[in-house]
Amino acid sequence: QIDKGRIAELAAKEEKRLNDSTTGSGRMYERAKKTMAGGVPSSYQVRDPWPIYLEEGKGSKVWDVDGNERIDYHNGFGSMVQGHAHPAIVKAVSERVAKGTHFAAPIEDSIVVSEALADRFGLPLWRYVNSGTEATMDAMRIARAYTGRDTVMKILGSYHGHHDYAMVCIGVPYDDLGDREDIQSLPYGAGIPKVVSDMTVAVPFNDAAAMERRIERLAEEGRLPACVIMEAAMMNLGVILPEPGYLEAVREITKKYGIVWIVDEVKTGLTVAPGGATEKFGLSPDMVTLAKALGGGLPCGGIGATEEVMEVVMNGSVYQVGTYNGNPLTMAAARASIEHVMTDDAYAHLNMLNDHLMKGCDAILEKYNLPGYTVGISSKGCVTFSEQKITDYESFMENLHGELTELAWLYAMNREIFMTPGREEEWTLSVQHTVEDADKHIAMFEEMAHDITA
């Protein structure tokens, strides 16, 4: 049994300590909020009483405006698997900057990147965009054009970016979702027309039979989905791995109904294996969406597809467009990352380090008898504070000890660990992280476990 009063007391103490050591961020916030809405460029960067403003990153570390040094496990919402200012990327981007940074005409680097991605993901044709949002938005449109259908299917609680078709059944009032077999299409936040959110239908993760039943019912209503868009392992409820056989069943079902299977690898692509979750789990999706780690720290996105599906782009029926698509700086960084940074050795290092970190945290959970377990793949992982194994959004909402997750964030931030805020996030390691970095993380975790149970 965890003592909630004790946790609240520790959280208040840690909160004060963090605020006392980040007064420079506090002053910056006062200035920022006069001209930037809420003092931040994106609402996901909001924090009460103020966000932590960063100044620099190098290797596995970042520094905030107060000069606090932290080991970065946030890594830009899971993008910086290369670590900050990796020499190979700095070199490639510096050389490119002096040769012109934008033409809206293709350059050779985009061909090299496509060749590598085709090889790694087993999908022959690629296009580029500037974010994960654009990637999933265009992928859905391509799937709709290819199938001539309007409805899209997603997983309850999965995040696929901030366009209207994706902002459905994520972060919504849990009690309003209705029956598990007939989940309501609720929009995430205001400004999303109901006619649009109604076109996105969610089903629970790790339940292929429920997916098929919903597809059958949609078929009866004359609205078979154009696509199923999903992550192979959910990366926004901590980490939730697919149960054995689940992904294979989804492939079968989508094939059976002529539905395009989009595996959203914005978080997993290039971070869990050279060919992302597609390689790791041996998948054969019709489309893959990439972003984050693809650009080595520059804004990017990519869409891979079979020749058959991409035909609707090549024959001009879908306009897959964008002024900054395939931007030279991004492509130079992506090429350098693929050729020189994210090598087989790099993945071996990430796997070793993640194992080390997970084992260390597991030992502490056991030693202090805390409710939780670790889960992860390659560079990604988390401690899930729950007595029960979490397999989908429902079990996450019902079992997660959110207050322990939040306390862990405060402990991390006050002990030189820069961690992704929020109950839903995981750590991302970089190729520049070391065993020493992981040990610091484990020591921080032990201190928290000790204080909770003292």
Least distance from ligand PMP to the Cβ atom of residue 264, Å: 5
If the CB atoms of residues 64 and 231 are measured against ligand PMP, the closer one turns out to be: 231
If the CB atoms of residues 162 and 401 are measured against ligand PMP, the closer one turns out to be: 162
If the CB atoms of residues 281 and 411 are measured against ligand PMP, the closer one turns out to be: 281
Query: What kind and span of H or E run contains 276?
Result: helix 276-280
If the CB atoms of residues 77 and 146 are measured against ligand PMP, the closer one turns out to be: 77
Spatial distance between the Cα atoms of 66 and 17, rounded to a whole number of angstroms: 14
37 DSSP assignment: G
- What does the DSSP assignment read for 96-133? HHTT-S--SS--HHHHHHHHHHHHHHS--EEEEESSHH
Q: Which residues of 400-426 are buried (b: 16+ CB within 10 A; e: fewer)?
A: bbebbbbbbbbbbbbbbbbbbbebbbb
Residue in this structure with the two tokens 């996450």, named with its chain if needed: 396
Spatial distance between the Cα atoms of 383 and 365, rounded to a whole number of angstroms: 9
If the CB atoms of residues 22 and 327 are measured against ligand PMP, the closer one turns out to be: 327
| 131 contributes a contact to ligand PMP by CB under 6 A | yes
Torsion-angle region of residue 416: left (phi > 0), alpha (psi -120 to 50) or beta? left
Q: Which amino acid is located at 444 in the chain? A: M
Among 22, 25, 75, 136, the residue binding ligand PMP under the rule CB under 6 A is 136
Spatial distance between the Cα atoms of 416 and 436, rounded to a whole number of angstroms: 13
Least distance from ligand PMP to the Cβ atom of residue 219, Å: 27
Among 140, 172, 250, 266, the residue binding ligand PMP under the rule CB under 6 A is 266
Q: Which amino acid is located at 40 in the chain? A: V
Among 125, 237, 291, 429, the residue binding ligand PMP under the rule CB under 6 A is 291
| 333 contributes a contact to ligand PMP by CB under 6 A | no
Interface residues for ligand PMP in 195-234 (CB under 6 A)?
Answer: 231
Least distance from ligand PMP to the Cβ atom of residue 76, Å: 10
User: How many Å from the N-terminal Cα to the C-terminal Cα in the chain?
Assistant: 13
| 160 contributes a contact to ligand PMP by CB under 6 A | yes
The CB-nearest residue to ligand PMP is 132
Interface residues for ligand PMP in 163-192 (CB under 6 A)?
Answer: none
Sign of the torsion angle spanned by Cα atoms 133, 134, 140, 141? positive
| 138 contributes a contact to ligand PMP by CB under 6 A | no
Least distance from ligand PMP to the Cβ atom of residue 340, Å: 24
Q: Which residues are catalytic?
A: 159, 264, 292
Please identify, among the stretches 153-161, 220-228, 336-344, 388-396, the one whose residues bind ligand PMP according to the rule CB under 6 A.
Answer: 153-161
| 264 contributes a contact to ligand PMP by CB under 6 A | yes
Q: How many of the other CB atoms lie within 10 Å of CB of 274?
A: 19
Number of residues that bind ligand PMP (CB under 6 A): 15
If the CB atoms of residues 28 and 155 are measured against ligand PMP, the closer one turns out to be: 155
Beta bridge partners of 234: 240
Interface residues for ligand PMP in 301-330 (CB under 6 A)?
Answer: none
If the CB atoms of residues 231 and 279 are measured against ligand PMP, the closer one turns out to be: 231
73, 420 contact by CB (below 8 A): yes
Chain residues that interact with ligand PMP, rule: CB under 6 A: 77, 131-133, 136, 159-161, 231, 235-236, 264, 266-267, 291
